[in-house]
């Protein structure tokens, strides 16, 4: 059962060939065996999950209708609200916070009869690229436990790769789904901004955040999108389906796109490690054999994406995290003498180093005398980056580039140099600034047997096309079938 994809497992459960209870119990056996090594989960819900699986088995036995994820064990990133378990954001300030409602995505998963097995680790408040900034625990890469799993959705990617769930959901503010998916050798999709509801997602950068799936195959990714995509009246940034209808992402998935024109950005890709560049080149060669045309393009404003992103994201983080004041909810310092100390000491004790750094950067960029010089200028650059993408998509169906400059790096390798850590997102950040969809798919391995990811980008609200393009490559290769061998001695 461990080698089955989510959709294969769903079909077998729905047909009564396999019991969801057996599958769920098997997942928890794997969690008991490997979780002490991987550290993917902040919390798990064994009793609840097995009971839920039993209910789904009973529905199937009674011949009742079951949802699109009937009985499939799913993991959720722990920055999405649930009425069961704590919602910690991997932060000490929210360590004991229990949300009074479910995020819309969680509700949709439950309606689809998914079995939620646990909530996964992340960089605190999703601020990081390696999951080393978690305030609660360390997550490692299943392919090499000396390496990071990527971030901030490192727990979701590691759990999916290690077989501790059959699919997961993460959030992506500047690459936080795609980069860990690349590092862990799985598929990760950042949908168009507004395609998936953000209601119940603890905000980091409100104009950048987007929830998306992390899966083992492109087909599973399409299945997850069929469940979680769509308009939500509770989310003011959710796009009305009359404006952008939600298609069936599985329909036509295996139909190759004829006459596909692929854009590549030579000067931008040149900064990647040689083995990453070679894997992307070999991938493009496969697309050529499938009839695609490769077109070199110039996107000059991508060079400014990192600078613009870290002004906009930190400014929004400064605003969003102001609510954690030690008064309404979350951690409150006990060593206080007045109201000022309630705020200052609670935040000082509850927030980690990286979160404090980003709050300070954002507060500075929004302060009097600097707003126009930094924040307003970053917004103007953002529009220029969007224009770059629009011009390319007028003549090409998609853009292909690496997900990250390197494969997974060693734990502790970049923690002393925040700027080097920020640069690990150099290929992913512009996608969030432009609000377009992007997917990471496995496309090779380096000489250390660590996965390499290919990033494919397409125009807004064309996830169906993006998934078909990704499936074209997946159908010609077997990288998605490889699984890490975890040393549990």
Give the C-alpha distances (Å, rounded to integers) separating 226 from 7, 67, 249.
12, 11, 6
CB 141 within 8 A of CB 62: no
DSSP for 54-67 reads HHHHHHHHTT----
Between 120 and 416, the more confident residue is 120
Q: In the chain, how long is the greatest CA-to-CA distance? A: 71
Same domain, residue pair 311 and 198? no
Q: Which of 382, 408, 426 is the last residue of a domain?
A: 382
CB 168 within 8 A of CB 214: yes
In a domain, 288, yes or no: no
Q: Which domain holds residue 78?
A: 6-264+395-481
SS3 for 215? strand
Residues 85-97 pLDDT 10s: 999 999 999 999 9
Same domain, residue pair 409 and 447? yes
For the annotated catalytic residues, the residue numbers are 77, 152, 176
Same domain, residue pair 228 and 350? no
In a domain, 234, yes or no: yes
Same domain, residue pair 102 and 251? yes
In a domain, 450, yes or no: yes
Beta-sheet strand order (sheet of 167-172): 41-44, 115-120, 73-77, 167-172, 210-215, 187-190, 438-445, 451-457, 398-402, 261-264, 293-296
Residue 489: what pLDDT?
Answer: 44
Residues 98-116 pLDDT 10s: 999 999 999 999 999 999 9
CB 112 within 8 A of CB 68: yes
Q: Which of 355, 382, 409 is the last residue of a domain?
A: 382
Question: Across all residues in the chain, what is the average pLDDT?
Answer: 96
Q: How many domains does the chain have?
A: 2
Residues 263-308 pLDDT 10s: 999 988 888 999 999 999 999 999 999 999 999 999 999 999 999 9
β-pairing, 210-215 with 187-190?
antiparallel
Give the C-alpha distances (Å, rounded to integers) separating 375 from 254, 308, 361, 372.
44, 8, 11, 6
In a domain, 387, yes or no: no
Residue 268: what pLDDT?
Answer: 81
Same domain, residue pair 35 and 104? yes
Same domain, residue pair 310 and 203? no
CB 192 within 8 A of CB 96: no
SS3 for 120? strand
Give mean pLDDT, residues 157-165.
Answer: 98
Same domain, residue pair 217 and 352? no
CB 197 within 8 A of CB 81: no
Same domain, residue pair 333 and 456? no
β-pairing, 41-44 with 115-120?
antiparallel
Q: Which segments within 217-305 are labelled E, that is strand?
A: 261-264, 293-296
Residues 420-443 pLDDT 10s: 898 889 999 999 999 999 999 999
- What is the torsion angle, in degrees rounded to the nearest 10, for the CA atoms of residue 295, residue 424, residue 375 and residue 313? 110
In a domain, 105, yes or no: yes
Query: Residues 6 or more apart from 239 whose CB is under 8 A from it?
Result: 192, 194, 195, 231, 461
Q: Is the pLDDT of residue 488 over 70?
A: no
- Look at residues 309, 166, 254 and name the one whose alpha carbon lies nearest to residue 469: 254
Structure tokens given for 374: 């930094």
Residue 298: Cβ within 10 Å count? 13
Same domain, residue pair 145 and 206? yes
Same domain, residue pair 95 and 233? yes
Q: What are 144's strand-pairing partners?
A: 141
Q: Is the pLDDT of residue 121 over 90?
A: yes
SS3 for 252? coil
Cα 211 from Cα 117, distance rounded (Å): 18
Please state, for a pLDDT cut of 70, what percent of the chain lies above it: 99
Q: Is the pLDDT of residue 2 over 80?
A: no
**Inter-helix orientation angle 46-61/20-38, to 10°:** 160
Q: What are 439's strand-pairing partners?
A: 189, 456
In a domain, 260, yes or no: yes
SS3 for 335? coil
- Look at residues 19, 139, 94, 54 and name the one whose alpha carbon lies nearest to residue 349: 94
In a domain, 282, yes or no: no
Cα 126 from Cα 113, distance rounded (Å): 27
Q: Which of 351, 382, 413 is the last residue of a domain?
A: 382
DSSP for 418-464 reads HHHHHHTTTTTHHHHHHT--EEEEEEEE-TTS-EEEEEEE-STT-HH
């Amino acid at each position: 059962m461990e080698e089955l994809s989510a959709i294969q497992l769903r079909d077998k459960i729905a047909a009564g060939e396999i019991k969801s209870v057996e599958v769920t119990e098997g997942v928890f056996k794997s969690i008991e065996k490997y979780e002490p090594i991987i550290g993917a989960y902040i919390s798990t819900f064994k009793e609840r999950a097995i009971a839920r699986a039993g209910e789904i088995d009973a529905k199937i036995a009674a011949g009742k209708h079951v949802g699109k994820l009937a009985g499939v064990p799913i993991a959720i990133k722990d920055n999405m609200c649930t009425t069961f378990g704590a919602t910690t954001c991997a932060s000490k300030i929210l360590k004991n916070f229990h949300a009074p409602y479910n995020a819309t995505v969680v509700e949709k998963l439950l309606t689809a009869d998914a079995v939620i097995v646990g909530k996964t680790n992340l960089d605190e408040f999703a601020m990081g690229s390696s999951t080393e900034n978690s305030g609660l625990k360390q997550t490692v890469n299943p392919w090499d436990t000396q390496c990071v799993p990527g971030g901030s959705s490192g727990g979701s990617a590691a759990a999916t790769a290690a077989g501790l769930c059959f699919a997961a959901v993460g959030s992506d503010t500047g690459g936080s789904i795609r980069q860990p998916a690349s590092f862990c050798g799985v598929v990760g999709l950042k949908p168009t901004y507004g395609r998936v509801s953000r209601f119940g997602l603890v905000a980091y950068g409100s104009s950048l955040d987007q929830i998306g799936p992390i899966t083992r195959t492109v087909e599973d990714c399409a299945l997850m999108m069929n469940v979680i995509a769509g308009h939500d009246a509770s989310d003011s940034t959710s796009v009305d389906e009359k404006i952008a209808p939600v298609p069936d992402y599985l329909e036509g998935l295996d139909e190759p796109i004829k006459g596909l024109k692929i854009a590549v950005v030579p000067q931008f890709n040149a900064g990647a490690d040689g083995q990453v560049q070679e894997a992307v080149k070999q991938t493009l060669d496969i697309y050529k054999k499938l009839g695609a045309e490769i077109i070199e393009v110039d996107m000059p404003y991508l060079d400014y994406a990192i600078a613009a992103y870290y002004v906009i994201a930190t400014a929004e983080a400064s605003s969003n995290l102001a609510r954690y004041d030690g008064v309404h909810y979350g951690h409150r310092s006990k060593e206080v003498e007045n109201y000022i100390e309630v705020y200052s000491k609670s935040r000082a004790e509850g927030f980690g180093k990286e979160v404090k750094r980003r709050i300070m950067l954002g507060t500075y960029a929004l302060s009097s005398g600097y707003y126009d010089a930094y924040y307003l200028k970053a917004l103007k650059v953002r529009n220029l980056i969007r224009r770059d993408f629009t011009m390319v998509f007028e003549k090409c169906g998609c853009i292909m580039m690496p997900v990250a400059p390197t494969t997974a790096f060693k734990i502790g390798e970049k923690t002393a140099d925040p700027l080097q850590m920020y640069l690990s997102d150099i290929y992913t950040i512009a996608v969030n600034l432009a609000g377009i969809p992007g997917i990471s798919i496995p496309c090779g391995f380096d000489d250390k047997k660590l996965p390499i990811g290919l990033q494919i980008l397409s125009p807004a609200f064309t996830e169906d096309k993006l998934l078909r393009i990704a499936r074209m490559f997946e159908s010609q290769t077997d990288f998605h079938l490889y699984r890490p061998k975890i040393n549990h001695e």
